Amino acid sequence: MSFGDSETLNEYLASRSYVTGYVPSKADITLLASLTEKPAADKYPHLARWYNHISSFNDGERASFVAGEVPSDMSSKSNGQAKKGNDSDDDDLDLFGDSESEDEEYKAEKERRIKAYQEKKAKKPALIAKSSIVLDVKPWGDDTDMVALEEGVRSITMDGLLWGASKLVPVGYGIKKLQISCVVEDDKVGTDILEEKITEFEDYVQSVDIAAFQKI
């Protein structure tokens, strides 16, 4: 169904954000569906502005639009005549009825958008603070089984702990230390508990030091 040519609609929307009222309604959806192509912004700026705005709403948002119907005659001349006719009949003129209804629609739309934003924000996953740590694990001597030492360290499992690469680093007198990296979630794993658990392998581990610590 056609509600007028592009020029007529452009004139009608020159002083309006929506087809009816101050919030988007079903009338806007109906009019949008009646258009066969996107209006040219250079020829019909008001119609194009309205078209882009209504098109930006997704199906879920459009489903919550308030009720509304497209006026049967959207010509600016017809609207002017209707306004003139209303102005001449003071007994039938309601100065506040439409305004109050439109204010309620505006408030309802505002509350709906705020609620939708809050729900979207609540669903957004919280940023998890993580740190990259490099540990120096020193053995008792050059006869310490470093393979068993590393197996012991990697056997430590905790929620929020991920072991990474490792290597043996000479420290002198034939002794090598295990340098091992890991990534931890700050709220779940701290350096103190890591050191405590590693030093529990007392047959292999003499001490544990933090070689590097960096927030991710």
pLDDT digits (tens, 9 = 90+) for 104-116: 777 888 888 888 8
The side-by-side arrangement of strands in the sheet containing 130-139 is 161-172, 175-185, 130-139, 205-215
pTM of the model: 0.44
25-19-16 Cα angle (round to 5): 125
At residue 99, the pLDDT reads 52
pLDDT in tens, 49-60: 999 999 999 988
Mean pLDDT across 136-150: 95
Whether 131 and 186 have beta carbons less than 8 Å apart is answered as yes
Tokens of 18: 């929506």
What pLDDT, on a 0 to 100 scale, did the predictor assign at position 170? 95
Confidence at 148, pLDDT banded by 50, 70, 90: very high
Three-class secondary structure assignment of 23-68: CCEHHHHHHHHHCCCCCCCCCCHHHHHHHHHHHCCCHHHHHCCECC
Please, what is the end-to-end C-alpha distance for the chain in angstroms?
58
pLDDT at 92: 46
Q: What H or E segment, with its residue span, contains residue 210?
A: strand 205-215
Share of the chain above pLDDT 70, in %: 84
